[in-house]
């Protein structure tokens, strides 16, 4: 349940992050000449799509779907990568979501053996 709540929260926050980046490029500070510099609109679409997938996986966890555990670990890992690359644009927001993703992976992996034995 803890992992489902965190995964759904991370998905909703990623959706909001994506919408904000798509709606207005000036919402986030730009860093000129950064190696991973992308147009913020494309970053917004990346976060929006990832957020939708993460939220749907969180809903799957709430329903007890077996596929949702592995998908949750995979998507939380992708979210960590996306937020690591997002650090130059919004460092505190990215660090917060990185921490949530770490807890999601921990919660999903630490309870995996308990449910597999049932």
Question: Domains of the chain: which residue ranges?
Answer: 2-22+37-117
pTM comes to 0.81
Give CA–CA dist 57/42, Å, rounded: 23
21-38 burial: b if 16+ Cβ within 10 Å, else e: bbeeeeebeeeeeeeeee
Q: What is the mean pLDDT of residues 82-103?
A: 90
Model confidence over 37-62: pLDDT tens digits?
556 788 889 999 999 999 999 999 99
Model confidence over 52-92: pLDDT tens digits?
999 999 999 999 888 999 999 999 999 999 999 888 778 89
Place of tokens 């630490």: 110
pLDDT higher than threshold 70 for residue 26? no
């Amino acid at each position: 349940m803890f992992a489902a709540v965190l995964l759904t929260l991370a998905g909703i926050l990623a959706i909001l992050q994506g919408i904000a980046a798509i709606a207005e490029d000036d919402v986030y500070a730009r860093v000129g000449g950064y190696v991973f510099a992308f147009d913020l609109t494309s970053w917004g679409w990346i976060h929006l799509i990832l957020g939708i997938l993460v939220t749907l996986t969180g809903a799957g966890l709430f329903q007890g779907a077996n596929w949702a555990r592995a998908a949750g670990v995979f998507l939380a890992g992708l979210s960590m990568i996306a937020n690591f690359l997002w650090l130059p644009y919004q460092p505190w927001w990215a660090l917060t979501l990185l921490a949530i993703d770490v807890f999601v992976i921990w919660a999903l992996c630490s309870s995996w053996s308990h449910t597999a034995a049932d």
